[in-house]
Amino acid sequence: SNIWKNIKRTIFASSLLGLGYLGYGIYDERHPTTQIVPDAKKKTLVILGSGWGSISLLKKLDTTQYNVVLISPRNYFLFTPLLPSAPTGTVEHRSIIEPVHGIIRQKKGVVKYYEAEATAVDNVNKKVTLKSVNTPEEVEMTLDYDYIVMGVGAQTSTFGIPGVAENACFLKEIDDSKKLRQQLMDRIETAAFVSAEERKNLLHMVVVGGGPTGVEFAAELQDFVDDDLKRSCPEIAKDIRVTLVEALPNVLSSFSKQLVDYTQNSFATANIQLLTKTMVKNVTKDTIKAERSLEDGSKETFEIPYGLLVWATGNAVRPVTRSLMTNIEAQKQSRRGLIVNDFLVVEGAEGIWALGDCSATKFAPTAQVAAQEGAYLANLFNQMGRAHEIEDDITALQLKSESAQDSNTRKTIASEIESKTRKLRRAQTILPFEYTHQGSLAYIGSERAVADLSLWGNATPWAGSMTYWFWMSAYVSMCFNTRNRILVCFDWVKTKVFGRDISRE
Closest-CA residue to 477 (of 467, 466, 488): 488
With CB under 6 A as the contact rule, the residue among 89, 210, 337, 374 that binds ligand NAI is 210
| Contact with ligand FAD (CB under 6 A) among 38, 49, 211, 307 | 49
Cα–Cα distance for residue pair 292/149, rounded to 1 Å = 42
**Pairwise CA distance, residues 449 & 197, whole Å:** 35
Measure CA 151 to chain center: 11
Binding-site size, ligand NAI (CB under 6 A): 28
CB of 296 to ligand FAD, least distance (A): 36
Residue 221 C-beta: closest distance to ligand NAI, Å: 15
Applying the rule CB under 6 A, the residues between 100 and 139 that interact with ligand NAI are none
Whole-angstrom distance, CA of residue 48 vs CA of residue 116 = 10
The three-class DSSP label of residue 77 is strand
Quote the CA–CA distance of 501 and 505 in Å, as a whole number: 9
Task: With contacts defined by CB under 6 A, name the span among 77-85, 190-198, 237-245, 421-429 that binds ligand FAD.
Answer: 77-85
CA-to-CA distance for 177 and 93, rounded, in angstroms? Answer: 8
From residue 409, alpha-carbon distances to 83, 397, 398, 406, 417 in Å are: 64, 11, 12, 6, 12
CA distances (Å), 107 to each of 33, 36, 104, 223, 304, in order?
Answer: 8, 9, 5, 41, 52
Among the listed residues 313, 361, 372, 467, the single contact to ligand NAI using CB under 6 A: 313
Could you say which residues in the range 134-173 bind ligand NAI, by CB under 6 A? 161
87 lies in the site for ligand NAI, by CB under 6 A: no
Q: What is the dihedral of CA 305, 307, 310, 316, to 10 degrees?
A: 60
Contacts (Cβ under 8 Å, ≥6 apart) of 419: none
Exposure of 493 by Cβ count < 10 A (0-12 exposed, 13-18 middle, 19+ buried)?
Answer: exposed
Member of 44, 65, 67, 72 binding ligand FAD (CB under 6 A): 72
Q: Report the side by side order of strands in the sheet with 111-122.
A: 140-144, 127-132, 111-122, 67-72, 44-48, 147-150, 352-354
441 interacts with ligand NAI by CB under 6 A: yes
Q: Please list every residue from 226 through 245 that binds ligand NAI, using CB under 6 A.
A: 245
Q: How many positions of this chain bind ligand FAD (CB under 6 A)?
A: 33
The answer for residues whose C-beta is within 8 angstroms of residue 459's C-beta and 6 or more apart is: 256, 439, 452, 453
Interaction partner, residue 445 (ligand NAI, ligand FAD, none; CB < 5-8 Å by kind): none
Three-state SS at 257: helix
Q: Decide whether 143 or 304 has the Cβ nearer to ligand NAI.
A: 304
Measured CA to CA, the distance from residue 356 to residue 337 in angstroms comes to 10
453 is a site residue for ligand NAI (CB under 6 A): no
When the beta carbons of 84 and 385 are compared against ligand NAI, the nearer one is 84
- Mask 211-250, x = binds ligand FAD (CB under 6 A)? --x-------------------------------------
Q: Which of 50, 264, 313, 372 binds ligand FAD (CB under 6 A)?
A: 50
Query: Is 260 among the residues that bind ligand FAD (CB under 6 A)?
Result: no
Nearer to ligand NAI, 72 or 440 (CB): 440
Among residues 223, 81, 214, 107, the alpha carbon closest in space to that of 156 is found at: 214
Q: HSE of 112 in the Cβ direction (CA atoms, 13 Å)?
A: 13
> Does residue 472 touch ligand NAI according to CB under 6 A?
no
Contact range with ligand FAD by CB under 6 A, out of 80-88, 139-147, 247-255, 445-453: 80-88
Q: Is 279 in the site for ligand NAI (CB under 6 A)?
A: yes
Shortest Cβ 481–ligand NAI spacing (Å): 21
Helix (H) or strand (E) holding 167: helix 164-167
DSSP string, 168-234: -B--SSHHHHHHHHHHHHHHHHHGGGS-HHHHHHHTEEEEE--SHHHHHHHHHHHHIIIIIIHHH-H
149 binds, among ligand FAD, ligand NAI, none (CB under 5 to 8 A by kind): none
- List of long-range contacts for 189-193, beta carbons under 8 Å, 24+ apart: 189/504, 191/236, 191/239, 192/236
| Cβ–Cβ under 8 Å, residues 208 and 214 | yes
Q: Which stretch binds ligand FAD (CB under 6 A): 157-165, 242-250, 352-360, 415-423?
A: 352-360
Contact residue for ligand NAI among 51, 153, 365, 374 (CB under 6 A):
365
Q: Contact between 211 and ligand NAI (CB under 6 A)?
A: yes
Pick the closer one to ligand FAD by CB: 213 or 243. Answer: 213
| Binding of ligand FAD by 118 (CB under 6 A) | yes
Residue selected from 38, 87, 153, 163 as contacting ligand FAD according to rule CB under 6 A: 153
Among 18, 20, 249, 314, binds ligand NAI (CB under 6 A): 314
Query: Which of 81/89 has CB closer to ligand FAD?
Result: 81
Residues in contact with ligand NAI by CB under 6 A are: 81, 161, 208-214, 216, 245-248, 253-254, 279-280, 312-315, 364-366, 440-442
By CB under 6 A, name the binding residues for ligand FAD: 48-54, 71-74, 80-81, 83-84, 117-118, 151-153, 171-172, 213, 318, 320, 356-358, 365-368, 370
